[in-house]
Amino acid sequence: MKDEHSERSETAWLDAEEMAAWRGLVETFADLTAQLEGELLAAHRITMPEYATMVRLSEAEGRRLRMCDLAMQLHVSASGLTRRVEDLVRRGWVRREPDVADRRVINAVLTDEGFAELERAAPTHVDGVRRHLFDHLSRTQVRQLGSILRTLAAATGSPEAGSSAR
């Protein structure tokens, strides 16, 4: 997979700096999430998907969300969420409530026990993010990272901008 900027194809290649950045991003992110997952699991017997689910519910109005909205936020399929919520219900952290206005809808509701559990687990997660990520970065780097991510969010959030290049 050598580069040597041979013009054999129509695709612009990545230079060394970009390649290193891309590889580094994949590698670093994988390591980071593995660490966080492991710590959360060891300290509270909670997986990251479970944690993320409870976080979303905790932030929602009335600590409740329609199944489809929750699935959207978590980037999982409807069926995947059905099983995940099933499990959280078994553990007493989430309750399922039919919606009175739309009888197709099931609302997932974070129980008081679930909220309490989340409050116990959150410091572990936050502390992990701090130790593994932000403790190693300068204030300037955090700002730069934030700026980069905002740029990307703005670009990919509305991909309909610009119709020129094919």
* Contact flag: residue 12 with a copy of itself (CB under 8 A): yes
**Nearest approach, Cβ of 113 to DNA (angstroms)?**
19
Q: 101-137 burial string, b = 16+ CB within 10 Å, else e? A: eeeeebbbbbbeebeebbeebbebbeebeeebeeeee
For a copy of itself, which residue of 5, 7, 9, 79 counts as binding (CB under 8 A)?
9
Distance, CA of 88 to CA of 123 (rounded, Å): 20
Q: Where are the alpha helices (DSSP H) in 7-111?
A: 16-44, 48-59, 67-74, 78-90
Q: Hey, which residues does 141 pair with through a beta bridge? A: none
Residue 116's binding partner, choosing from DNA, a copy of itself, none, with beta-carbon cut-off 5 to 8 A by kind? none
**Burial of 74 by CB count in 10 Å (0-12 exposed, 13-18 middle, 19+ buried)?**
middle
* Contact flag: residue 36 with DNA (CB under 7 A): no
Q: Hey, which residues does 97 pair with through a beta bridge? A: 107
Q: Which of residues 52-91 bind a copy of itself (CB under 8 A)?
A: 55, 58-59, 75
Distance, CA of 82 to CA of 78 (rounded, Å): 6
**Nearest approach, Cβ of 104 to a copy of itself (angstroms)?**
27
Mask: binding to DNA, 57-76, rule CB under 7 A, as x and -?
---------xxxx-x---xx
- Judge whether 49 and 40 are in contact, CB under 8 Å: no
* Contact flag: residue 42 with a copy of itself (CB under 8 A): no
- Judge whether 57 and 79 are in contact, CB under 8 Å: no
**Nearest approach, Cβ of 125 to DNA (angstroms)?**
16
Query: For binding to DNA (CB under 7 A), which residues are involved?
Result: 47, 49, 66-69, 71, 75-85, 87, 96, 99, 102-107
Query: For binding to a copy of itself (CB under 8 A), which residues are involved?
Result: 1, 9-14, 17-18, 20-22, 24-25, 27-32, 34-35, 55, 58-59, 75, 122-123, 126-127, 129-130, 132-134, 136-137, 141-153, 155-156
